[in-house]
Structure 1
């Protein structure tokens, strides 16, 4: 029962955060939408930041589960990388840029947690690039270095502030970055 209530709170908070951003949502507003008191909210979460962390946690858990599932797959490593990237992007777009931008600006500890999570995906990317190199799919490059460069580029560019600064969406930036890396790596130059 307690977990059901927590999930209900998180889902309602996600809707509010995506509509108004993190900064513009109050616990009073969230409690009213849920038909409960703020005091009841505090029985489940210590505050708004913990609720936002749970919202991000849903996305990160979905991504982590998908990555773990993909790590078990055999076959075309670049195809697995591409499919995984698409699935990750589909999860990320569930989080509205206004929410992510507010997290980046007003909840730096949460943003840092998100950045650390993204950095942990380095092992997955390196493993797939190593398999692709062994299969002759990519150029003779060091997979760990390429994975590090890819993750650093993602962390630098696939951000709300970067996308907005250049007049694009985060998915546009992510798609372009992915294409540039994969196309540049391919030994045959074909996608």
Structure 2
């Protein structure tokens, strides 16, 4: 029952954080939505920051698992594309409002996200190197540099105002992935 209640708290908090942002949600809001007392919530979490941190830890765990399943294998480019698509779907479930609040109000959580992102992008770099050895990717590019440039571009989209131009962030990220892959793939393929 303890794990069940903890998970329910996280699910409701995730929903509320996504609709109202971290700043716009109180422990009382979470308790009210769950039909439980604040005292019950405090049996599982020390406060709202720990709840938000746990919510992001769950998301990071799911994203991390997708990267951990990535193996260069026989088609590293297809593997990169597939992983990007899976990660994009997971990350898109976090509203821009919640993302913004994490960046501004929860610097330790934001730093953990950045570190995990950098660590997992090393797998992309490994796939690019394997693809270079297989002749799928241009050997004239530096796998490390192109991976860092792509990571920085992706992070830029998290702060982008693409919607102002009628382009969803998901559409923009799809285009970025296409440009990235088209730019590194060997022309002879």
TM-score by length of 1: 0.89
Hey, what does 2:120 align to over in structure 1? 121
**TM-aligned CA deviation for residue 81 of structure 1:** 0.2
Aligned residues: 187
SS in 2 for 1:121: helix
CA contact (8 A) 2:124 2:147 kept: yes
Gaps of 5+ in 2: none
CA distance in 1, matches of 2:60, 2:66: 10
TM-score by length of 2: 0.90
**TM-aligned CA deviation for residue 10 of structure 1:** 0.4
**TM-aligned CA deviation for residue 80 of structure 1:** 0.3
Q: 1:135 to 1:13 in 2, by over 3 A?
A: same
CA contact (8 A) 1:18 1:98 kept: yes
CA contact (8 A) 1:89 1:171 kept: yes
Q: Deviations over 1:144-172 (max 9, x none)?
A: 222222222222x131x323586443323
Q: Deviations over 1:88-133 (max 9, x none)?
A: 0110111112211222222222222211111111211111101110
Hey, what does 2:53 align to over in structure 1? 53
Q: Does 1:162 align with 2:165?
A: no
Gaps of 5+ in 1: none
Pairwise CA RMSD of aligned residues?
A: 1.8
Q: 1:23 to 1:135 in 2, by over 3 A?
A: same
